[in-house]
Amino acid sequence: MIELLRRFGGKFRRYMVIGPACKLIEVIFDLLTPLVIAQMIDKGIGAHDVSAVIHYGMVLGAMAVIGISFTLVCQKMAALTSQGMGTDIRGALYKHINKLSYAELDRFGTPSLITRITNDVNQVQLAVALGVRMLIRWPFLAVGSMCAALAIDLKLGIIFLICTPAIGLVFWVVMARCIPYYKQLQAKLDRIALICREGLSGARVVRAFVREDHERERFAQAADDQANTAIAVGKLSSILNPVTFLVMNLGVCAILWVGGIQVSVGELTQGQVMAFVNYMTQTLTSIVYVANLVVVFTKASASASRINEVLNCEPSITDEDNEPVALPQAPATDVDAPVSALSLSHTSFSFGAGAANAVNDVTLELPLGKTLGIIGGTGSGKSTLVSLIPRLYDASTGSVSVMGADVRTWPLDQLRHVVATVPQRASLVSGTIRSNLTWRDESATDEELWAALDMAQASEFVRNKPQGLDAPVEAGGKNFSGGQRQRLTIARALVGSPQILIMDDSASALDFKTDAALRHAIRERSMRGAAEGELPLTTVIVSQRVSTVRDADMICVLDHGSVAGLGTHDELYATCQLYREICQSQLRREELEGQQGSAAPASVPSPASAPAAPASTCAKEGC
């Protein structure tokens, strides 16, 4: 909490001084009130002097008005500080989270980051507001009332001195048990957020698989777990108020009894006894409020440490001091194109210490303007491998170079502008088609946007929309079909003239004809660019379909993160058993029989009997 105050409180220092100062004035009036009431009782009511009662009544009224005015100022200061700090912390968190690499985002998890940015910041905000308003008030009122009461009568003060530690003890015992629960509560809230997010974002799949009951059960368990902890804390802290008020009221009884005797022997006036009772009530109530403050601050400090954990997490992928990389000149002819657009040298990557390598010792080189196809079963490391190119993850060992320069030496903005990625999951955000297409280049003209849509085979359905490029896109692009979403994300990657285009299984929802038309359009654009003296477009196509990668200049067959084969379709068909098995499971008999120099086996399965997924075994010796 202190760390957050130090980081974000500076701007609000003025408010944090003015607010409590105003509160202090209100507290002084609160402390004087019992004395004025005592005078009113003794000089007015006791002496049957109505004018004295009116006089002291007016004094009380004036004190109340002044007190309220200062309270209002304090309230405003508290609101400005807490809301301002909350906004700043949220902004800083959001900015910092955007700087974190995938590795750190994986570690925290999206639901937890959302809870931290919302609920945890709210807890801190609440504590700051209470701090400005109450941190001075209650302790000052408690001590001030105690001193004023003791000044009235020391003998009655003994009752006071017994009650105060008794309440303190109850409070200490209860709080010591409650505090550990507050930390657990936040973690349990994270779990609820996680289940909510999974259940709601996958609502269609949940319904398709009739898993509603299972999801409801999972949510109910998490909610019950959180509720049980909250109830346990509630039960414990519910002891606080009755016990403190019991002690307080017993104390008041004792004072009235002893005070009554002293009044009857003339040692104290009635007004003094009333003032004493008021001070005692004020002190003990203040202690209860201080207890509540401690609860709020304990919760806030658990939240603050979760916020600091994110803010102090250094992004593992940075580009400080990286100078812009000079792009190679476009080759005059095909023959003199020695520059490699992409090269991986003994590249390995694992998602965490102790985890198996998701990418294992991959070495390959792709010349400028060529197409690399990556094929392999689910979980073979295709997405992980391509995410190393725009540096979404850093390779654990080995290196990845783009245009001859190690990706670690590129400024990230430049690298991610040169390398355009179409992720496996098409993601669109709410806005318009135009606002979704201009992510890479905000100044792109309509002509450029239509050209990209044409290439991505998306122009037809966009043209059919009455608003065209300004047609609305709902959150997550849910008003488009899966295939339309994919085509729009492909078009988005093509805007802003990338030099390397990575499509991670991006054509999976496209029919074969559209998929082929898309690849043809990309190849044409690459050739046209080269003819016009631009750098030719280099393409990396990840797919589970042989038909999508078979025309690539080079195909990389991945198996459990390792390269099982590297070469052209014909070469691989002849030499790599895993690739051959994938082909046999997907291509038609005529297509397989047409293999040049192929090592096609005598028995080729017909498409009807072909397994849906490629076989997972790989005879590496054959590759």
Ligand X SMILES: Nc1ncnc2c1ncn2[C@@H]1O[C@H](COP(=O)(O)OP(=O)(O)O)[C@@H](O)[C@H]1O
Nearer to ligand X, 530 or 583 (CB): 583
Token look-up 């609502």 returns: 203
Choosing among Mg ion, ligand X, none, which partner's interface includes residue 285 (Cβ < 5 to 8 Å by kind)? none
Among ligand X, Mg ion, none, partner that 496 touches (CB below 5 to 8 angstroms by kind): none
Q: Given 3-state DSSP classes, what are the helix, strand and coil percentages for the chain, each rounded to the nearest 5?
A: 65, 10, 25
- Which among Mg ion, ligand X, none contacts residue 376 (Cβ within 5 to 8 A by kind)? ligand X
- Supply the minimum distance, in Å, between the C-beta of residue 322 and ligand X: 25
CB of 505 vs Mg ion, minimal distance in Å: 6
Point out which span in 142-150, 349-357, 379-387, 411-419 binds Mg ion (CB under 5 A): 379-387
| Measured distance CA(617)–CA(619) in Å, rounded | 7
Applying CB under 5 A, what is the total number of residues that bind Mg ion?
A: 2
Distances (CA, A) of 391 to 321, 395, 409, 446: 16, 8, 11, 30
Q: How many CA atoms lie within 13 A of 12 on its CB side?
A: 26
Measured from the CB atom, the residue of 69 and 397 that comes closer to ligand X is 397
Report, in Å, the least distance between residue 558 CB and ligand X: 7
- In the complex, minimum distance from the CB of residue 509 to ligand X, in angstroms, rounded to a whole number: 16
| Residue 13: CB minimum distance to ligand X, A | 42
Q: Looking at residues 417 to 436 of the shown chain, list those that interact with Mg ion (rule: CB under 5 A).
A: 424
The reply on whether position 383 binds Mg ion by CB under 5 A is yes
Q: Which is nearer to ligand X, 331 or 373 (CB)?
A: 373
b/e per residue 474-485 (b: at least 16 CB within 10 A): eeebeebeebbb
Nearest to 455 by CA among 401, 493, 415: 493
Binding of Mg ion by 322 (CB under 5 A)? no
**Residue 573 contacts by C-beta under 8 Å, 6 or more apart in sequence?**
579, 580, 583, 595, 598, 599, 600
Shortest CB 67 distance to ligand X, Å: 58
| Ramachandran assignment for 98, one of left (phi > 0), alpha (psi -120 to 50 degrees), beta (any other) | alpha
Instruction: Give Cα separations from 501 to 420, 485, 498, 525 (angstroms).
Output: 5, 17, 6, 12
Which lies closer to Mg ion via its Cβ, residue 358 or residue 407? 358
Q: Decide: is 166 part of the binding site for ligand X (CB under 6 A).
A: no
- Nearest CA among 404, 391, 381 for reference residue 542: 381
State the minimum distance, in angstroms, from the CB of residue 350 to ligand X.
9
Residue number, 222 or 555, with CB nearest to Mg ion: 555
Closest CA to 141 of 28, 240, 244: 28
With beta carbons less than 8 A apart as the criterion, state whether 557 and 376 touch: yes
Instruction: Give the one residue of 3, 50, 94, 106 binding ligand X; rule: CB under 6 A.
Output: 106
Q: x/- site string to ligand X, residues 344 to 383, per CB under 6 A? A: -------x------x-----------------x-xxxxxx
The residues of the shown chain that bind ligand X, judged by CB under 6 A, are 106, 351, 358, 376, 378-384
Binding site for Mg ion (CB under 5 A): 383, 424
